[in-house]
Structure 1
Amino acid sequence: MANYSESKSVLQSRLIAVGFAESDVTAILGEVGNLRRLAFISSFTPGQADEAPLMQVLSELLQRDPSISDKANWRAVFNEAYAIVTAEMKQRIEKVDAEPSVRPLSQPERAERYERQVKKLTGVSLRGPLEPADALVDAAVASYEANELKYIPWEKCVSKEDELRGEKKKDIKFTVEEASGKLRVEHKSPDLVADTSSEIMVQQALTRRALAMDQANLIDFVVMDQWTQRLMKARLQAPAESFAKPTWKQLESADRQLFTELREKTRTESFLPPSLPGCSLVILVFTIGLQGIVPRIPLSALPERKE
């Protein structure tokens, strides 16, 4: 599931919303599958006078003569699908903004990704502090849709709980439009920052990032979690004599370097579920060779502690 128009759950929700019966939804969903296919299911396009090709497809899908309400529902969902797909294609081709805004997932998409992950990761609790925020999942999905792996900083790995608390603290901003002179009221949510003040907080933040990337079909959770565990091991294990533990700044630099290597590995490859091609190998190499990336600091090189 790459984007909104290719989601099966989105089409299902729209068919139900326009008024199709449950049996008709099942029949249409099994053959069509998503909004992208629906938009090009016949030679008819919005604006043409003859919609016979479009209605012929509906008759074949339902295996009966559609009623007046069926035709009205079919027109509504078809025009919506055509508008969405053409808008996505236009945005992809033109790319007006150098840094396009992240598209929030629809509720059917979000629910489908979450339910699929719950069934897949039976031994992992996805509620509470480990559940990734909607904005975090949206950022991972945006990376998938752009076909370009982007680094997600630790401080951006906010939990769903913190995101819900932040929604209650929206800032109200009043602006006046120059052209019309009308007063506009804007509600802006504060920029949330994940708590990374301790080892357990960092581990939870990285786990949320791994879950978000798994939902976006970027990297399998099990593979990404191996990297999280290796970072925590490097931080928590007892250092050798005359050596100090790596600092959080060093570990974060290693984390960024991993994404740099993954980006180089996937430069000419498309993102294919369930994970990026070659990611397992790159993460394995980084996991084994972490000591070479994050060198330990000899105690003699550290400044003396003042009493």
Structure 2
Amino acid sequence: MALVTSEAALKQRCLEVSPDGSLYTSLAAQSIRSFRQLAFAIGTPRSEPTPEQYQELAAQVFGAAAPIGKVAQLRDLHFEATTYVIQALKDQVSSDAAEHQVRKLPMAERAARLSDQQRRLSGVSITGELQPSYGLIDKVNHILESGQLVWISPSMCGKRDLEVAQGIDHKAQVVQVEKEALKVSASQVETKADVTTPLMLHFAFQRRGIAFDQCGLIEWSTHQDYLHRLLFALSAPVPPGFSQVTIQQIVRADKELWTIMARECMPPFKAKPDGTKPLDVSMSKLMLDSRVQMWLLPVMASQASKLQAPPSVEPSDALPSDVPTPTKKLRLRKKAKKVMPDALKGCKKFSKGPCCWGFNLEGCSLETKAAEDTPSAIVDPGPDSRSRDCKSPDQGQRKVFQAVKRQRVDMPERGFVLCKPMLTAELSEDEAPGKCLTDMLVIEVCCGSAGLSWACHKLGFQVMPIASRGSFDQKPKLRVHHLDLTDPEALRSLEELICTESARIALIWAAVPHGTASVARSKPLPRFERL
């Protein structure tokens, strides 16, 4: 129901203009109970009435010799009514998607309908779990006004308490196309209900029945009778070898009922002069239809898993079961292909993954329990590389590498613990646990594209790639800290960082400046020359 046709909206506005209620009483005595009737009482919305017409209307409403204040109230209310009517007609004509948009009921109309329904259904407390959300009532009212019957699933029958708990948030702006023009509007925020248990499903169905009764489409008693039949099938005993009726079957049967009603019941759905309601009569007739009851029959236990998922479940991105999944081709790694013995070439068993050639040929007695899924670090022990052991304040040793070429080194051999040890009473003070891999830090200076930092990051290290701004040949794979080491202050900050984090630094990789056009070559570096 629109604002211009709501009797409750006019009554509330009259009470705001005239708190004593005399204005609405006088208008109701002249059979004026909505803004639309008041707008056309004198003149038309496009032509303003003359003062004489206002005086004549005031004399009919308030009697002869109406005070000036009463006439002013009447003129104020009439101008507001004509404005509402013009805007309503404009929206109805100009918008292509007007019939598909769910209009919100005025708050005065909501309160009046709820009060009248609570008076009629004296044995039902429409609060808490049974109070439908405003969005649900708007959808049901849209069915009444537009004549387009759609199925409202139980998951869309939210409660008012959840709507209040969501609060007033800023809705996202959505761009829509109307009459070959772009229009920006706010997106609709829907309140979904939980229907994972029979009790929550029962509440959702009841909220929908209250919404349809409040809008005058289906009687509460009729919807309750239909709901009792659904829940009886959910709890009815089944023969041996058959599965209990599930919530998915209940929802599917409800969807089938509304689909048949939309096919056989023609609009309009408003109550007829004799008081009968088309949807109420149709539901009473179709709730026992065989096309609906077939979905409520128990199925064999072997076929229970093949039932359709409930509509409230969001669709997954997985392919349907009947769509064949292409097989993934296994490719032999280049490094394994080079070192594979001739006796094992052509065997599909070794086409992927690390393999021990000795175990598959003459035999291998090495333990493999501690070597499974062992991360490795990419370091450089080339011919000109140098390594030294250094003691840290904590337990353990660290290896510092300087290299140009890469190979893989197992981390447990370098003294790193790959997982945090469990602190128990059996650990003595002499058996202090080593460092955790995820706590160790790798610093890469002049990182370039940060390839080494990316490899260490995938192994679990904390990394800090450092490079000067604008010195990238390729896009870095990680976020790079911009630091110009030709600046004394920047170099001092890096030294302080290394001293502060020295207890947990696993590797410092310092690449030499590359390229004849490097920025670092344009400035003298006497300190580095001495090194």
TM-score range with shorter-chain normalisation?
0.7 to 0.9
Q: CA deviation at 1:202?
A: 0.3
The yes-or-no answer on 1:261 pairing with 2:263 is no
* Corresponding residue number in structure 2 for 1:78: 78
User: 1:218, 1:275 within 8 Å by CA — same for their partners in 2?
Assistant: no
User: 1:166, 1:190 within 8 Å by CA — same for their partners in 2?
Assistant: no
User: 1:230, 1:287 within 8 Å by CA — same for their partners in 2?
Assistant: no
RMSD: 2.9
* Corresponding residue number in structure 2 for 1:40: 40
- Corresponding letter in the other structure for 2:233: A
Query: Against the structure 1 CA distance between its residues 271 and 263, is the aligned structure 2 distance closer, same or farther, given a 3 Å change threshold?
Result: farther
SS in 2 for 1:83: helix
User: 1:117, 1:215 within 8 Å by CA — same for their partners in 2?
Assistant: yes
- Corresponding letter in the other structure for 2:2: N
TM-score normalised to structure 1 length: 0.83
CA distance in 2, matches of 1:280, 1:66: 51
Worse-matched range after superposition: 72-81 or 188-197 = 188-197
Query: Against the structure 1 CA distance between its residues 148 and 205, is the aligned structure 2 distance closer, same or farther, given a 3 Å change threshold?
Result: same
Query: Against the structure 1 CA distance between its residues 95 and 22, is the aligned structure 2 distance closer, same or farther, given a 3 Å change threshold?
Result: same
User: 2:11, 2:24 within 8 Å by CA — same for their partners in 1?
Assistant: yes
User: 2:141, 2:215 within 8 Å by CA — same for their partners in 1?
Assistant: yes
* Corresponding residue number in structure 1 for 2:239: 240
CA distance in 2, matches of 1:270, 1:44: 31
Query: Against the structure 1 CA distance between its residues 275 and 210, is the aligned structure 2 distance closer, same or farther, given a 3 Å change threshold?
Result: farther
TM-score normalised to structure 2 length: 0.50
CA distance in 2, matches of 1:44, 1:196: 51
User: 2:26, 2:62 within 8 Å by CA — same for their partners in 1?
Assistant: yes
Q: CA deviation at 1:46?
A: 4.9
TM-superposition CA deviations, 1:76-117 (whole Å, max 9, x none): 211221222233334344552166432222221011000010
Query: Against the structure 1 CA distance between its residues 291 and 28, is the aligned structure 2 distance closer, same or farther, given a 3 Å change threshold?
Result: same
User: 2:14, 2:21 within 8 Å by CA — same for their partners in 1?
Assistant: no
Residues 1-307 of structure 1 aligned to structure 2 (within 5 Å): 2-19=1-18, 21-30=20-29, 31-48=31-48, 50-97=50-97, 100-167=100-167, 170=169, 191-272=190-271, 276-277=277-278, 279-287=280-288, 289=290, 290-302=292-304
CA distance in 1, matches of 2:173, 2:117: 41
Q: CA deviation at 1:63?
A: 1.4
Worse-matched range after superposition: 272-281 or 52-61 = 272-281
CA distance in 2, matches of 1:13, 1:29: 13
Q: CA deviation at 1:23?
A: 2.2
User: 1:206, 1:228 within 8 Å by CA — same for their partners in 2?
Assistant: yes
CA distance in 1, matches of 2:39, 2:173: 40
Query: Against the structure 1 CA distance between its residues 171 and 12, is the aligned structure 2 distance closer, same or farther, given a 3 Å change threshold?
Result: closer
- Corresponding letter in the other structure for 2:237: A
* Corresponding residue number in structure 2 for 1:179: none
CA distance in 2, matches of 1:172, 1:150: 25
User: 1:4, 1:105 within 8 Å by CA — same for their partners in 2?
Assistant: yes
Q: CA deviation at 1:73?
A: 1.6
CA distance in 2, matches of 1:35, 1:228: 39
User: 1:12, 1:29 within 8 Å by CA — same for their partners in 2?
Assistant: no
Q: CA deviation at 1:164?
A: 0.8
CA distance in 2, matches of 1:282, 1:192: 26
Q: CA deviation at 1:196?
A: 0.7
- Corresponding letter in the other structure for 1:114: L
User: 1:8, 1:29 within 8 Å by CA — same for their partners in 2?
Assistant: no
Which structure has the bigger radius of gyration?
2
SS in 1 for 2:278: coil
User: 1:20, 1:70 within 8 Å by CA — same for their partners in 2?
Assistant: no
User: 1:11, 1:29 within 8 Å by CA — same for their partners in 2?
Assistant: no
* Corresponding residue number in structure 2 for 1:182: none
User: 1:166, 1:189 within 8 Å by CA — same for their partners in 2?
Assistant: no
CA distance in 1, matches of 2:19, 2:74: 9
- Corresponding letter in the other structure for 1:77: L
SS in 2 for 1:241: coil
How many residue pairs match? The answer is 292
Q: CA deviation at 1:174?
A: 9.7
- Corresponding letter in the other structure for 1:166: Q
TM-superposition CA deviations, 1:11-43 (whole Å, max 9, x none): 111112233642232111232111121111123
Query: Against the structure 1 CA distance between its residues 291 and 239, is the aligned structure 2 distance closer, same or farther, given a 3 Å change threshold?
Result: farther
Q: Which of the two has greater strand per residue? A: 2
- Give 5+ residue unaligned stretches, structure 2: 175-184, 306-531
CA distance in 1, matches of 2:245, 2:96: 43
CA distance in 2, matches of 1:187, 1:142: 19
Worse-matched range after superposition: 194-203 or 236-245 = 236-245
SS in 1 for 2:287: helix
- Corresponding letter in the other structure for 2:36: R
Query: Against the structure 1 CA distance between its residues 11 and 213, is the aligned structure 2 distance closer, same or farther, given a 3 Å change threshold?
Result: same
CA distance in 2, matches of 1:39, 1:197: 50
User: 2:133, 2:159 within 8 Å by CA — same for their partners in 1?
Assistant: yes
TM-superposition CA deviations, 1:153-173 (whole Å, max 9, x none): 2111111111111116x3576
- Give 5+ residue unaligned stretches, structure 1: 176-185
- Corresponding letter in the other structure for 2:271: L
Query: Against the structure 1 CA distance between its residues 29 and 298, is the aligned structure 2 distance closer, same or farther, given a 3 Å change threshold?
Result: same
Q: Which has the higher contact order (CA 8 A, sep 6+)?
A: 1
SS in 1 for 2:91: helix
